[in-house]
Every structure is written in C-alpha cells, then in structure tokens.
Amino acid sequence: MLKKITCRCIILTAITFMLVSDAAASDIPAAVEKMLREIRQDQPVPALPWLKRSKSVNANCAYYRGSHNGIGITVETHPDSNRVASILLQIPGGDRTKQILPAVQRVIGPPRYSSPKESQYGWEWPKYRSASVHYASGGKSGEGITIVSLFYR
C-alpha cells in the first residue's frame, strides 16, 4: 500500500513538473517579444526590475545584465550615451529558433537571410544595424543556447 502511494506521488510530481516546464517554455516567445518591444535600439535603456547595471565591457558605454523568464539578457549603450546600442538574449536549452522567430518578426520584421536547416536567421538595415537569431549547440555537453542579438556592425 505504501509503495502504491509513493509511486502515485512520484508520478503526480513528474506530471506537474512537465506541465510547469511546458508552460514556461510556451512563455518564451512572449517574453522575447516583450523584451524586444521594451528595449529598443537608439532609445534610452528602460528602467526594468530584472535589468541591472553591471561593470562596463567597453569604454564609455553602460552595460546592463539580467534574466527574465529564464532568458539571459545583456544590453550595452552607445559611448557616452544612455541609448541602447546592442541587445543580446540567451535562451538555454534546445534549439528554439523556430519557436521564437514569429515573435522576433513581429517586432523587427522578416529576416533578410534565413537558413532554417542550420537554425540561422539574419537582418541588416542601413547605417550598419544588424540582427540575428541562431542556435549555438552545446557540443558534447548536449544542450546549447538560442541567441537573439541586435547590434551595430
């Protein structure tokens, strides 16, 4: 009897974990879209509770890091400015390029380059602005990272 109860508890816990994981995964495209809408290139860095100022990587630039819905985010400003120059989103785990691509497209438009087979999508605009969505595999370690970046070349 005790074994049956323990087994049921384990099964219920596993099912609950899977449901919560699926729900969190389905929120990733919405979170990506929200971040890209709130943090815009050439606009002041918004005050967001999950985005904290960090030690600067480049001289005279402000640098921010954070995490929102399990997505790592890095923002850097133009030199001597509070305006956003680059945005980097990092989504750990399996390849999510196809899952998040529609959300990215709603914000920045259709890609100019795409290679779905290699999980790579790219954008280019005048004045040296670029963007990409791609997957970097984890090699032997297994899971990699899906990257969304908007930057100046």
**Pairing between strand 84-93 and 129-136?**
unpaired
Mutual angle of helices 28-38 and 2-26, in 10-degree steps: 30
Q: Identify the CA nearest to 130 among candidates 114, 147, 108.
A: 108
Q: What percent of the chain is predicted at pLDDT more than 70?
A: 81
pTM confidence score: 0.81
pLDDT digits (tens, 9 = 90+) for 63-97: 999 999 999 999 999 999 999 999 999 999 999 99
Counting beta carbons within 10 angstroms of the beta carbon of residue 16, is it exposed (0 to 12), middle (13 to 18) or buried (19 or more)? exposed
